[in-house]
Every structure is written in C-alpha cells, then in structure tokens.
Chain A
Amino acid sequence: QVQLQESGPGLVKPSETLSLTCSVSNGSISNYFLTWIRQSQGKGLEWIGHIYYTGSTTYNPSLKSRVTISVDTSKNQFSLRLSSVIAADTAVYYCSRMAGRIARGMSYFDYGLDVWGQGTTVTVSS
C-alpha cells in the first residue's frame, strides 16, 4: 500500500524558509501530480501547488512568488520550500498525489487526491 510521509522542522522563524520533504514508499511517483496542501484554522484546506513526476510545476498564484516544489525521482521524494514565512503560514502541511497526465501543454487530472501523508505541523514563530 502506497504511503506518503512528510518530514521537516516543526518551527520556523519569521522571514526564513520553510522546507519539507515527502517520501513516497511502496509505490511509484510516475504519472502522478505530487501535491502540497496546507490546512490552517482560519483558511481551511489550501492547495499550495504540485509537480508532475517529469518536473513540471504549477503553483497557487497566492503563494507563487514564495513557493518552490521539486522532485527527486531517484529517491521517490518531492519537496516544498516556502520562503519569507510569516505567522499566517502556520498550518498543518500535507503531501498528497493525484493521478494524471500532461498532454500538449495541458494538465489532465484523474480521481482526486487519493493518498495523503499524515501531515506535519509547522509553526512560524520567533
């Protein structure tokens, strides 16, 4: 059974960079959009962005200037970096996956987000 697991610091200082990694076990990352989502009390579930296993990225415009998602296919891992964090970035961060494909420059999604990590709480505070 495919499992996703987030890892990274639980406390980040304001203005610094949040870095998380998602490790995928018992399954391939091929043909999936590897996704980061966060959940805070004030804003519900917020899609941060995703990376196709080939490396193509799409980010939420609300965070685009601060977000970088990368993939390491050799390690079956993908990562999130969010720069210049503020208190409002405090949230539970989840990694997930969505099957799909990219054809002629268009992304086609299938089935929804079918597997999620357990989530990791990140607090932004000095």
Chain B
Amino acid sequence: DIVMTQSPDSLAVSLGERATIDCKSSRSVLHVLSNKSYLAWYQQKPGQPPKLLIYWSSTRQSGVPDRFSGSGSGTDFTLTISNVQAEDVAIYFCQQYYSSPLTFGGGTKVEIK
C-alpha cells in the first residue's frame, strides 16, 4: 500500500494569511506516460462529506476558489491556501489514486488564529 503522510496535523493562521499543508507519499504517484501525479486534495467541514478541491496534484475542481492551489510531483506535494478566509476552517486530506488500495493522508486541521 502507498502510505500518505501529511504535515502538520494542525495549524492556525490569521485571516488573510497563507496556509501551507504538505503531503508525502511512500512511493511515487507519478504516471510516467501521462506525466501526471495521481494526487488529490479534499476539504472536509464538520458534519459534511469531503469535497474535492484539487486533482492531478494541481488542477482545481470546477467552482473551487483560486486561493486554493496545489503543487508537487512524484512523492512530495503541497496544498496552499492563500488569503485564508473564515470559511476555510476545515480538515484537509490528500489522497493518492495511482494504485489500489486508494489511500488518504491523516488530515490537517486548519483553524483561524
């Protein structure tokens, strides 16, 4: 299984500041032929299911604000929330869909300072 490790477990940021979440996979999730990393990011608010934010490590899902951005390739990835808003308080998960079993990171809780 590919193990996904997120850091930090939680972070508190001021409104308008930047939040950075890291995700590391135990094996590369880069598909050589397509040159795409099979890595997604999700946002989960209390009492709600996860919501897809980013796929292919850096492509925003339709309707996701452009303050959310993803970067990275291979085994190291980052989700950046620029200009954090109050509604961004949530837990964020990374997930690899390169191979089964699909696996998720442990989550990062983002709070407002």
Contacts and interface: CB of A to CB of B under 8 A. Distances in A.
A60 B42 CA distance: 20
Contact of B104 (A47, A49, A109): A47
A110 B31 CA distance: 12
Nearest to A116: B49
A116 B104 contact: no
Main secondary structure of the interface of A (DSSP, over half): strand
Size category, B interface: 20 to 34
B77 interface: no
A87 interface: no
Interface residues of A, number: 24
B93 A58 contact: no
Contacts of B38: 109
Contacts of B54: 112
Interface of B: 1, 38, 40, 42, 48-52, 54-56, 61, 93, 95, 97, 100-107
